[in-house]
Structure 1
Amino acid sequence: MADASPSTWKLYHNPHFSSETCYNSPAHLLPGDLNSVPSGADGTYGGGGSNDLNLVHPEIVELRAALELERGLRRSAESLARAMERDLAEERLARADAEAEAAQFREAAGRAEREAEKELQMLRISEAFREERVHMKLAEAAIVLEEKIRQVASNVDGAGPARAHQMRERQCWREAENPQIKRGMKGISEFTKAIRVRAP
């Protein structure tokens, strides 16, 4: 098990570290404090203060340019972010409008579908009623036709004996016809033929 007691740290002396020169170094100064950098023989950077300033000045200028570039990029990014935020808000509004319109279309389509289903159901019912009426009319016509056929058959059956009796009477009348009339009619026909033969 590890020891829970705090560790003791031992500090070592750095001969190149100086607390005075650390906070007065140009690396810890802002770009606007460039004019306050000490120079001369009595400066904190030793006897070569001007030379050190000349060496650090290009770096400071470069850092300042980089800072300005970064600020410009940040402003551009912020402007782009605001534009994208506006576009996103407009896109959200457009999407909300599209969703509302789509919901209306869905509702209208559902209503139209329900109405079409009702009309189709009514059409089926009316078609069934029409077929039922046709069947009923056909059945009634068949019943009427059958009744008429029965009536005709009964009339024929009732008129059969009378018709047979009438036919027998006609036959008897033909047999009982006067023979003299028959001979007279035959003589007339023969006389007519003789006249036609004798004619020049």
Structure 2
Amino acid sequence: MRSEREKMAAGEWYCCLDEQLDALRATARLAVHQHATMAPDARGAMAPLLRTLFGSVAQGAFIEAPFHCSYGFNISLGKNVYLNAGCVILDSAPVKIGEGAMLGPGVQIYCADHHRDVEKRSKGIEIAKPVTIGNNAWIGGGAIILPGITIGEGAIVGAGSVVTKDVAPGQTVVGNPARKIIPKDADTLI
């Protein structure tokens, strides 16, 4: 019989109320606590525990404090990625953030999708869907990226937007739900 972590990794329905998953989340909480409480000059781009927790971190990646993640090991940061203060990544599935991508303050990325059946949901049944953010994408402050979303290379997500569908490379989306716009004056867009 497979563990709940194995089901989560396979993209199947799993129970998040599980001792092994609880322990992994506790490890992540220690790492984000260290990141939030270290002096900025001692922490540098990322606290040591957080850096070792992540799946991969390329040169020049920088995370402002505070920051929160569920597990950490599902997060991959490309070269020169920047996460502003208050970002949250609920990484029950892989989250890949491409080179040069910038996330504004308070951006939230969710991978967990809870069951629609109230009884199953109350028992912690959920499914994990990956999120991918392409190279040089810009995610405005307070944006929310829902499970299973891909944001293409060079795309822009306006501040406060809720992204419910994939965003094509080079596309700009704004609003709730986020919708494609064609900017008349790109300098005043966001």
Q: TM-score, normalised by structure 2?
A: 0.16
* Structure with more relative contact order (C-alpha pairs < 8 Å, separation 6 or more): 2
Larger gyration radius, structure 1 or structure 2? 1
Q: Which has the higher helix share?
A: 1
Q: TM-score under structure 1 normalisation? A: 0.15
More strand by share: 2
